[in-house]
Amino acid sequence: MKKLVLIFLVLFLAVSCKKELVKEPKGLLDREKMVNIMYDLSVLEAVRYQNPLSVDSMDTNPTKFILRKYKVDSVQFSQSNKYYAANYETYKDMFDEINARLEKQKKVLDSLVKIEDKKAAKKSKTKIDDKEGGKKTQDLKNADASKEKMELR
């Protein structure tokens, strides 16, 4: 009897482990589309954090705009998000992919900022050199005029 109960218990546990916590919703967004939406929403949140007035002053709701961009309604997104979140490994992989894309984009933007900084520094140096060059030219003219006066005496 004990063996029968033990076998039943093991079978019950095995079957219950495979049970999905959240059933697949109708109209489930595919993983790639979900990652793209979540990436755009992450960028939006970063913009909101860095400059809240820029997003708040928009006439349209940016989140709705992103969902419209992917032709998804908020209910479909919410149900798909809930479904993917129920599987920890899948959800973690999705966020790792989003994080990698954000890091890649950050590197690109950082390199563009460095290029712009170098251009600005070079332009600033050129202006300073032009001012100093003009001053040197004026000093040379003054020196030449002084020499001529000395020679005339």
Contact 34, 84 (CB under 8 A): yes
pLDDT of residue 15: 60
Tokens of 82: 């809930």
Task: Say if residues 79 and 25 touch (Cβ distance below 8 Å).
Answer: yes
- Tell me what pLDDT residue 52 has: 75
Report helix, strand or coil for 57: coil
Give pLDDT tens digits along the chain (153 positions).
Answer: 666 666 766 666 666 665 567 788 899 999 999 999 999 999 988 888 888 777 666 667 888 889 999 999 999 999 999 999 999 999 999 999 999 999 999 999 999 999 998 888 888 877 665 565 555 555 555 555 555 555 554
| Cα separation, 34 vs 16, whole angstroms | 28
Q: Which residue type, as a one-letter code, is found at position 70? A: Y
Q: Rounded to an integer, what distance in angstroms lies between the CA atom of residue 65 and that of residue 16? A: 41
51 contacts: CB under 8 Å, gap ≥ 6: none
| Other CB atoms within 10 A of residue 20 CB | 9
Q: Please give the model's pTM, rounded to 2 decimal places.
A: 0.64
Tokens 């590197």: give the residue: 107
**Cα–Cα distance, 98 to 35 (Å, whole number):** 7
First to last CA, the chain: 133
Residue 25 near residue 83, CB atoms below 8 Å:
yes
29 near 37, Cβ under 8 Å? yes
